[in-house]
């Protein structure tokens, strides 16, 4: 408390350099001169007083605490305890401020800068307690590990012949040359020490600040006996071959436990690096393992340069020797590890730190290994070095060592495979060092070239950039408007980028004065960057520290500023975002791995996530891996644990392979825009659950999709589809039944379907139908907003919290809404905006997983359950996969097994032959089968595409009464009632026709006739697409189905053969109007689907993707086999071309249709009718054109 006296206002403060004149006031009239007390002395005195106060308060607390429990003495002890706590509340934070916050205090502070706010002091105490708790937990383990390492090294030394081993240099085959002891620059090659063959300590790499800057090198283990040989015996062809080694951190597959040290394979469509098993030689001949090993050995080992956190630990500055366990762990895994000292604050500024990092990289490029060629010049950092205001530098790679002194510089590393890594502010420094030069070079080349910049694969969109001001915290800079090129004619805009090519166009003013710190220091190319808990945005980091009351104790602002302008100039995120229209992607490192702990209190998780999204938007192969149970320091200490176990144990502890066992958080990257309410849906726990589903089932899903291709190939060769002989016992056995209907599913006589739009969800639940199928599949366009906000709408509807208002009209949920079922996407569709381990997630598992995770427990609590419709299955093994996913999910969330019910849509031709097998696989979860009539027609044509006799007439002639449709319906009803589950009828797509009563009456009559056919055939329920049809269907079923279902209608008279199911005879003809209807329907739906609408009214019918699919394959079929119209015209691509043009013009004029999307749809359809075979699904083909997805079908990243 006495320290606070130095901060009182009556001390009359006038800060002059480091002296403050103090006027001592006395109560009697006497003049006393001012006594100048240096600020440094005041800090020392106040520090001593604070330490004394803390010690006294601590001892007093220990004394009075037991006395406070005594009834009489407690009256005296409790007030003393309160006084001690108040002293600690002020003295402890004051001590921290005295040690850390006296330089660059706020402008209004005169004298000592101390905290007086009790809330701030309490926050500082909590932070200090957390820090001390970590130290008490980690320091003993660190000390034991270091001691164990020393004992292991000592045992190895004593176990060798003579107790000492001479220092070998690189032998034949390029093995690691290892010399021990503390290595300087000269004659230490003959020395041997405890760490011989393990590490080299204290190597100087720079002398730019009046003192030597040192680094340590940790050498990888070599297997087998080391051989000494002439160091000049290398083959030059071996050492100079530009090929990444197999243990390159970027080549480790994500599924392996050791995937964390380097960047994983890139998300999206970028090709993964070839592994050792598939790497061809330069001649195209597959190399043998021994050949690959020799070449890998000749090249040397990958190099990891690690920059530790630069002072975020507090008053104790980190040293490189603290990370001996980390270096040893990485070296044990086969890497050459370099850990340097960096000039820290207050001795160094941001410019000094960048210069040190460049010096380290220069030393690594020149000294990490020798190559077996003459000294050569290697371009620094980038292959394009046309700098206008800076001179491009190159570094030299020396020739082979020939003397003992030179041999001390051999470390067995590969200078072409350098990975720069960092932690915290060290991670910021690592990428900032490389990005600064990349931005300056790109800017200068742009201004010098005076022409268009050629970008490839850029993913930025104007809509995404316009919204970044709220996400990033600074104003967005939209791309400039197109301007004429300096050469005249045309526009300087690059297609798809919005970047103009005039002189200086698109270069923000803040970048014009940007310079490279330490540009005279040349650096080698960097293969990749590994970032642990990176600080990406300095301004947001300072704000985050302010929320923790630590902004004055952290060195971030003072080291990188202290002014806000300097903080922004030295901020990695600000630099990259400001340069996004200028930066050439090839000048950045091509691979970046971002690793962060979800429990990090010092650097928020959003910082790393946002950085990974920004880098991906700049076309950098980026992988983001968050880990649930790790904090800021634990992220590094967990890596150090590896020495206590096997070689890869440390990586297993945080590697993605451990997720399925629940020991680690998932590695998952989201590439969709941030959406209001989406944060709760895409929570950390939900993403972890999705990753469990993906890693458990995705490989099986891909195998089943490959099996579909094999079946199609057999069908194309003429093999017919039949009932499976291997499952005949399942079909003939009367001893098994499916589970009883779930609560609310006993009566399903009328079901309404539709997408998950908020208004539609409310209207459908209030429609009066028994159930509502919320559709994420055919009646939904899978834009990111539709998929995520659809989950939000369903969650709110289940909790009765959904409402909607538009044009003054409010929509609210009724007291007794319909029972909710959800249809996820089919197994064939991916979710390209969610990447797990470098692979896009299954759209099926994404939709199911999010809905089940957020709503299953709530539905059970309300007396229902999670109910689903499962689409597009083609084999009973696909049903088994769903069943396994259901079982795992309920077990993972601790819910009762069997709470899920799923109705399978029989809408593919192969599934019609396996109805009972599908029910059998899902019998614990089955709720019946549904006649997906429209997709079934599409599948029939597609599967029989190689047979000319399967050409169908106009789509309107393929009704439910044609032979193959009638056989399929009768078999479905018989199968379902045999196994005591619901046999659901198909969709009536009619919608009310306004302003034409006669046409409306005819349409409603068709609906009534269709529902009458279904109920008399034995169906237990039916589908409608519009609320106006519910009463018609309900009246028909109420009249003819008195109970909740018709399970008693066994249809034992039905005998359906495989030939009947595959019978292609359909009466009718092909008309020109039918051709035009198909063209119009396909164009209308595809254009609307690309625009984000998957449920489209076309010709008074509510159509979904199945309509466009039938139209597409019919047009292809007619062109393929030269079908003729009823007027005798042969249908060819040339015949269809003018029809496409005419119908495109008509469709473009429809409300809600974008003409550009019509053009895309037209080009796609023309390509389809000309193809040898139609593609499987148009939704897969057009996915790349959706909002938020790249044109190649890969995710377009935006900041999240």
The catalytic residue positions are 823, 1104
Task: Name the residue among 950, 939, 941, 948 with its Cα closest to residue 909.
Answer: 939
Read off the tokens for 1084. 């209308």
Task: Tell me the DSSP string of 229-274.
Answer: --TT---HHHHT-----TT-GGGS-TTSTT-TTS--SPSTTSPPPP
Measured at the CA of 1009, the angle between CA 1006 and CA 1015, to 5 degrees, comes to 140
Q: Which of 802, 783, 930, 797 is nearest to 851 (CA)?
A: 797
Closest CA to 437 of 358, 366, 531: 358
Cα separation, 910 vs 943, whole angstroms: 9
| Four-point Cα dihedral 926, 927, 929, 931, nearest 10 | -150
Per DSSP bridges, beta strands 336-340 and 394-397 are unpaired
Cα gap 1050→975, rounded to integer Å? 8
How many residues appear in the chain?
1200
Angle, nearest 10°, between helix axes 684-716 and 876-892? 170
Collapsing DSSP to helix, strand or coil, 135 comes out as: helix
The residue whose two tokens read 């999204």 is 613
Which residue, chain included where needed, has tokens 């991916």? 830
DSSP characters for 586-628?
Answer: GGS-SEEEEEEETT-SSS-HHHHHHHHHHHHHTT-EEEEEEET
Q: How far is residue 1094's CA from residue 1091's CA, in Å, rounded to a whole number?
A: 9
Helices and strands per DSSP (H, E), number in the chain: 38, 27
- The H or E element spanning position 1111 is helix 1105-1120
Q: Residue 1161 has which token pair?
A: 């749809």
Q: Is 1013 left (phi over 0), alpha (psi -120 to 50) or beta?
A: alpha
State the Cα angle at 580 between 574 and 582, rounded to 5°: 115
CA distance 481 to 502: 11
Structure tokens at 455: 């970008």
d(CA 1022, CA 664): 46
Report which of 1099, 419, 344, 1034 is spatially closest to residue 749, judged by C-alpha positions.
1034
Q: Which residues pair with 337 in a beta bridge?
A: 218, 304
Helix (H) / strand (E) element for 1002: namely helix 997-1017
Q: What are phi and psi of 428, to 5 degrees?
A: -60, -45
Q: Is 1099 exposed, middle or buried (0-12, 13-18, 19+ CB in 10 A)?
A: exposed
d(CA 762, CA 820): 11
Q: For residue 1060, which of 984, 966, 974, 957 has the smallest C-alpha distance? A: 966
Element (H, E) at 353: helix 350-367
Structure tokens at 410: 């051999």
What's the rounded Cα separation, in Å, for the pair 786 and 843? 13
Residue 1141 token pair: 């043009």
Q: Please answer whether residues 1110 and 937 qualify as being in contact, where contact means their C-beta atoms are separated by less than 8 angstroms.
A: yes
Helix (H) or strand (E) holding 505: none
CA distance 1180 to 1169: 17
| Dihedral angle, C-alpha 441, 447, 451, 453, nearest 10 ° | 30
């Amino acid at each position: 408390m006495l320290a606070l006296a130095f901060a009182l206002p009556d001390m009359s403060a006038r800060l002059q350099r480091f002296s403050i004149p103090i006027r001592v006031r006395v109560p009697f009239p006497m003049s006393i001169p001012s006594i100048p007390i240096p600020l440094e002395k005041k800090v020392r005195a106040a520090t001593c007083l604070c330490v004394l106060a803390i010690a006294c308060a601590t001892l007093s607390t220990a004394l009075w605490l037991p006395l406070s429990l005594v009834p009489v003495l407690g009256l005296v002890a409790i007030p003393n305890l309160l006084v001690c706590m108040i002293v600690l509340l002020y003295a402890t934070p004051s001590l921290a401020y005295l040690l850390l916050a006296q330089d660059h205090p706020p402008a209004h502070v005169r004298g000592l800068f101390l905290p007086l706010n009790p809330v701030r002091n309490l926050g500082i105490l909590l932070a200090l307690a957390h820090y001390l708790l970590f130290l008490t937990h980690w320091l003993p383990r660190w000390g034991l590990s270091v001691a164990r390492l020393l004992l292991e090294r000592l045992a190895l030394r004593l176990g060798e012949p003579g107790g000492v081993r001479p220092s070998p240099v690189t032998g034949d085959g390029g093995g690691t040359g290892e010399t021990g002891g503390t290595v300087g620059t000269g004659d230490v090659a003959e020395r041997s020490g405890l760490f011989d063959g393990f590490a080299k300590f204290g190597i100087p790499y720079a002398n730019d600040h009046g003192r030597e800057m040192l680094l340590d090198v940790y050498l990888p283990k070599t297997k087998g006996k080391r051989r000494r040989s002439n160091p000049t015996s290398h083959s030059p062809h071996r050492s100079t071959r530009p090929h990444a080694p197999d243990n390159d951190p970027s080549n480790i597959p994500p599924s392996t436990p050791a995937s964390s040290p380097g960047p994983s394979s890139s998300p999206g469509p970028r090709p993964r690096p070839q592994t050792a098993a598939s790497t061809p030689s330069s001649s195209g001949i597959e190399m043998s393992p021994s050949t690959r090993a020799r070449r890998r050995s000749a090249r040397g080992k990958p190099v990891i340069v690690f920059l530790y956190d630069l002072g975020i630990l507090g008053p104790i500055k980190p040293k490189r020797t603290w990370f001996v366990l980390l270096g040893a762990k990485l070296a044990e895994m086969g890497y050459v590890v370099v850990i340097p000292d960096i000039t820290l604050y207050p001795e160094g500024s941001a410019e000094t730190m960048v210069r040190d990092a460049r010096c380290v990289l220069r030393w690594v490029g020149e000294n990490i290994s020798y190559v077996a060629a003459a000294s050569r010049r290697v371009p620094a950092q980038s292959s394009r070095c046309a700098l206008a205001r800076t001179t491009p530098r190159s570094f030299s790679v020396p020739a082979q060592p020939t003397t003992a002194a030179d041999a001390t510089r051999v470390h067995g590393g590969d200078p072409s495979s350098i990975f720069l890594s960092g932690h915290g502010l060290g991670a910021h420094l690592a990428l900032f060092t490389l990005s600064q030069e990349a931005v300056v070079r790109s800017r200068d080349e742009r201004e010098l070239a005076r022409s268009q910049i050629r970008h490839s694969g850029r993913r930025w969109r104007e809509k995404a950039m316009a919204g970044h001001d709220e996400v990033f915290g600074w104003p967005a800079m939209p791309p400039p408007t197109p301007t004429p090129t300096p050469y005249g004619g045309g526009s300087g805009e690059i297609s798809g980028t919005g970047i103009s090519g005039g002189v200086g166009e698109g270069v923000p003013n803040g970048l014009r004065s940007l310079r490279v710190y330490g540009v005279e220091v040349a650096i080698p190319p960097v293969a990749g960057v590994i970032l642990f808990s990176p600080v990406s945005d300095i301004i947001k980091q300072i704000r985050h520290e302010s929320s923790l009351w630590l902004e004055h104790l952290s060195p971030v602002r003072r080291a990188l500023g202290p002014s806000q302008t300097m903080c922004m100039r030295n901020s990695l995120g600000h630099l990259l975002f400001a340069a996004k229209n200028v930066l050439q992607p090839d000048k950045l490192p091509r691979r970046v791995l971002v690793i962060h702990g979800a429990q990090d209190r010092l650097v928020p998780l959003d910082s790393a996530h946002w950085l990974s999204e920004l880098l991906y938007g700049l076309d950098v192969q980026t992988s983001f891996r968050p880990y649930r149970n790790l904090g800021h320091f634990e992220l590094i200490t967990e890596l150090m644990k590896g020495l206590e176990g096997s070689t890869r144990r440390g990586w297993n502890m945080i590697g993605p392979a451990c997720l399925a066992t629940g020991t680690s958080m998932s590695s998952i990257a989201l590439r969709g825009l941030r959406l209001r309410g989406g944060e709760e849906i895409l929570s950390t726990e939900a993403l972890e659950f999705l990753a469990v589903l993906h890693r458990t089932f995705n490989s099986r899903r891909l195998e089943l999709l490959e099996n579909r291709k094999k079946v199609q190939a057999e069908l194309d060769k003429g093999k017919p589809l039949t009932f499976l002989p291997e499952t005949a016992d399942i079909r003939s056995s009367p001893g098994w039944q499916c589970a009883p209907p779930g609560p609310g599913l006993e009566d399903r006589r009328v079901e309404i379907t539709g997408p998950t739009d908020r208004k539609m969800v409310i209207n459908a639940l209030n429609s009066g139908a028994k159930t509502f199928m919320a559709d994420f599949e055919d009646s939904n366009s899978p834009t990111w907003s539709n998929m995520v906000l659809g989950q939000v709408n369903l969650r709110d509807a289940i909790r009765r919290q959904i409402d909607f208002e538009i044009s003054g009209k409010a929509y609210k949920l009724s007291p007794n809404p319909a029972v909710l079922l959800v249809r996820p996407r089919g197994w064939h569709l991916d979710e390209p905006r969610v990447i797990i381990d470098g692979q896009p997630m299954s759209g099926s598992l994404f939709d199911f997983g999010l809905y089940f995770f957020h709503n299953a427990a709530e539905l059970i609590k309300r007396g229902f359950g999670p109910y689903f419709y499962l689409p597009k299955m083609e084999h009973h093994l696909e049903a088994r996969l769903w069943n396994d996913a259901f079982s795992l999910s309920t077990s993972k969330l601790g819910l009762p097994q069997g709470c899920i019910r799923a109705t399978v849509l029989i809408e593919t031709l192969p599934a019609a032959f396996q109805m009972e097998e599908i029910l059998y696989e899902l019998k614990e979860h089955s709720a019946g089968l549904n006649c997906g009539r429209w997709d079934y027609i599409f599948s029939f044509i597609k599967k029989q595409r190689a047979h000319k006799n399967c050409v169908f007439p106009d789509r309107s002639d393929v009704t439910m009464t044609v032979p193959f449709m009638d056989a399929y319906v009768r078999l479905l009803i018989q199968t379902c009632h045999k196994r005591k589950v619901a046999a659901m009828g198909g969709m009536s797509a009619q919608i009310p026709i306004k302003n034409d009563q006669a046409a409306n009456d005819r349409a409603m009559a068709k609906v009534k006739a269709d529902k009458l056919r279904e109920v008399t055939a034995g169906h237990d329920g039916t589908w409608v697409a519009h609320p106006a049809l519910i009463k018609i269907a309900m009246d028909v079923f109420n009249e003819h189905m008195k109970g909740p279902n018709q399970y008693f209608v066994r249809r034992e008279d039905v005998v359906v053969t495989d030939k009947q199911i595959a019978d292609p005879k359909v009466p009718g003809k092909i008309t020109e109007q039918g051709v035009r209807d198909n063209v119009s329907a396909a164009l209308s739906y595809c254009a609307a689907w690309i625009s984000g609408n998957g449920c489209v009214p076309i010709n008074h019918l509510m159509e979904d993707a199945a309509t466009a699919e039938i139209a597409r394959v019919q047009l292809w079929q007619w062109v393929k086999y030269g079908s003729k119209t009823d007027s005798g015209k042969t249908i060819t691509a040339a015949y269809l071309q003018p029809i496409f043009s005419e119908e495109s013009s008509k469709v473009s004029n429809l409300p809600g249709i974008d003409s550009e999307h019509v053009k895309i749809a037209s080009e796609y359809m023309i390509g389809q009718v000309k193809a040898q075979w139609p593609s499987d699904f148009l939704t897969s083909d057009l996915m790349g054109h959706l909002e938020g997805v790249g044109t190649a079908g890969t995710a377009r990243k935006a900041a999240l």
